[in-house]
Amino acid sequence: MADDRTDSAWGTFLELGRPAEGPMHVRLARALRAAVTGGRIASGSVLPPSRSLAADLGCSRWVVTEAYAQLVAEGYLEARSGSATRVRAQAVTAPATSPTDAGTRWEPEFDMLPGVPDLRAFPRGRWADAVREATGALTWGELGYPDAAGLARLRQRLAAYLVRGRGASLDARQLVVCAGTLDAVLRLCRALRADGHTHVAVEDPGWSRLGATAGAAGLVPVPVPVDGHGLRVDLLRRTPQVRSVILAPAHQFPTGVVLAPARRADLVAWAREVDGLVLEDDYDAEFRYDRHPVGALQGMAPEHVVLMGSLSKTLSPALRIGWAAAPPRWADALAADHVSGMPPPVIDQEAFARFLDRGAYDRHLRASRLRYKRRRDHLLRELTESLPGFRVSGAAAGFHLLLSLSGCPAPAVVEEAARRDVRLADLDDYRVVRTGDAAGPTLVLGYGNLADRAVPGAVRRLAQAVDAARHTGGRAEAGRAGGRPR
């Protein structure tokens, strides 16, 4: 069987130096030696035939054979009669790795951090078929540099899906295809800053990377509290320097609350009064289990709301496909921003367009809803049995829920769970302002990427962590979300 490294040496760049640095065969031997010892040519790799390499370098074949012979004599290469010249297996020593080079990424047995979908359910076969068909169907012109707003066919199909499935009010001209939600936020915040905005409101608690991205674009993020009815629009009105806000009205992260109807109306009224912009993060609104999904806020005020979404929670974060449906002036600014973002690969855009067109995306969402609902119900049963009396909230949608603790601080439970190879998140890790809220210590439990068979074991270890944290009186060193056990 042919070795997969057979011709790995053929395209290696060789720095031959100047003629003043020695005869050509000496310089070639030096360059090959450096490539081998530096690991650029792997052990066992086949070197090009002397005639081929001589033609590539524009030198005589003698130069190459002399260089090869020298390296054979030194033990870097091996040459057998009737066979190709290869790098000797012992010629390259793998560089030593330090603890900082490898092993620093913790992969726990039970990962309950929120925000990750069921990656085991990614439709590999159907997506591979769509990519293969897309590759054959794209025209030569479409294989060039992409339209900054995204592939026209995808924008048309995506617009139809958002109008039908999310209650949006838009046409394809308002859509810009981005490399995920953060890409859209970064572009929009840059456009807002160019338009004279200096501050942007963000939910507290909320996804911290939204505020960080706004800051990277030059805006000052202003935290606005969230309560049981969603963003406190009354407090937003008390910040006259703010004329834009980023929020998730259909399913707030991480509390899971829905922006109440009265506040939705008040938020739209505020945006109209200040001529502002609402950046609606519609990250997982398709996943509601106990009632119909909440319609997009954008449908109420398309002139003041940008609807942002992505495939990160519905298919996979690895696809890096997102979108923003914006009022015309902001859509133009989004598409014109070539500094902070570019659209995803055209082949992937065409594949997703086919996914939408054939109903495969709708079928995948329906199957995902059923799967997450079963897993949520399983998790709730296990929590009730192992941690009776602990209050659960935010379970009506998405794939995470909140667990209110009793008698122990959340950081201590996170630390104890990490010792038991369970990764958890503390609700306070998503707060900008620590207010000592009446809800008390609370965990955010993600179950999207937790295998069904792993649910009982994960809850059992969680209960052990809670028990241990109670017995230590919360003296365990507080670990942050995702902290590695020490």
pLDDT at 315: 96
Residue 319 DSSP one-character state? G
Which are the contacts of 228, defined by CB distance < 8 A and separation ≥ 6? 257
pLDDT at 9: 67
Interaxial angle between packed helices 346-357 and 360-386, expressed in degrees from 0 to 180 and rounded to the nearest 10: 80
The answer, yes or no, to whether residue 480 has pLDDT greater than 90, is no
Q: With 0-12 CB in 10 A as exposed, 13-18 as middle and 19+ as buried, what is 291?
A: exposed
pLDDT at 432: 86
- Range ranked top by mean pLDDT from 55-69, 70-84, 194-208: 194-208
Mean pLDDT of the chain: 88
The answer, yes or no, to whether residue 390 has pLDDT greater than 50, is yes
**277-281 and 305-310: which strand pairing?**
parallel
> Please, how many CA atoms are within 13 Å of residue 123, restricted to the half-sphere of its CB?
19
- Greater confidence (4 vs 250) lies with 250
The answer, yes or no, to whether residue 18 has pLDDT greater than 90, is no
pLDDT at 157: 96
**Range with lowest mean pLDDT among 20-29, 88-97, 226-235:** 88-97
pLDDT at 161: 95
Which are the contacts of 147, defined by CB distance < 8 A and separation ≥ 6? 343
Q: How far is CA 257 from CA 81, 232, 236, 453, in A?
A: 74, 12, 18, 28
The answer, yes or no, to whether residue 361 has pLDDT greater than 60, is yes
**277-281 and 242-247: which strand pairing?**
parallel
- Which of the four pLDDT bands, split at 50, 70 and 90, describes residue 13? confident
For the stretch 426-474, pLDDT in tens is 999 999 876 555 568 999 999 999 999 999 999 999 999 999 998 876 4
Under 8 Å between Cβ of 150 and 342: no
For the stretch 395-406, pLDDT in tens is 888 999 999 998
Distance between CA atoms of residues 26 and 22, nearest Å:
6
- Greater confidence (391 vs 486) lies with 391
pLDDT at 290: 77
- Greater confidence (192 vs 99) lies with 192
> Please, how many CA atoms are within 13 Å of residue 217, restricted to the half-sphere of its CB?
31
The answer, yes or no, to whether residue 98 has pLDDT greater than 50, is no
Longest Cα separation, the chain: 85
Distance between CA atoms of residues 239 and 247, nearest Å:
16
- Give me 412's structure tokens: 């201590």
The answer, yes or no, to whether residue 90 has pLDDT greater than 60, is yes
Residue 251 DSSP one-character state? S
Distance between CA atoms of residues 45 and 5, nearest Å:
5
**Range with lowest mean pLDDT among 43-52, 141-150, 181-190, 430-439:** 430-439
**Range with lowest mean pLDDT among 15-29, 109-123, 199-213:** 15-29
pLDDT at 291: 73
- Give me 341's structure tokens: 């973002």
The answer, yes or no, to whether residue 340 has pLDDT greater than 90, is no
The SS3 of residue 230 is: strand
H/E element holding 224? strand 220-227
- Amino acid symbol at 372: Y
What mean pLDDT do residues 133-140 have?
93
For the stretch 242-293, pLDDT in tens is 999 999 999 999 999 999 999 999 999 999 999 999 999 999 988 988 777 7
Q: How far is CA 363 from CA 119, 314, 354, 452, 457, in A?
A: 16, 11, 13, 21, 31
pLDDT at 471: 81
Distance between CA atoms of residues 256 and 205, nearest Å:
11
Length of the chain: 486
pLDDT at 101: 46
Q: How far is CA 241 from CA 203, 212, 233, 274, 281, in A?
A: 16, 19, 14, 10, 22
Residue position matching structure tokens 């980023």:
246
pLDDT at 437: 54
Under 8 Å between Cβ of 355 and 126: yes
For the chain, list the domains and their CATH numbers: 19-87 (1.10.10.10), 110-116+363-471 (3.90.1150.10), 147-344 (3.40.640.10)
pLDDT at 374: 96
Residues of the chain with pLDDT > 70, as a percent, come to: 90
The answer, yes or no, to whether residue 2 has pLDDT greater than 60, is no
What mean pLDDT do residues 223-228 have?
96
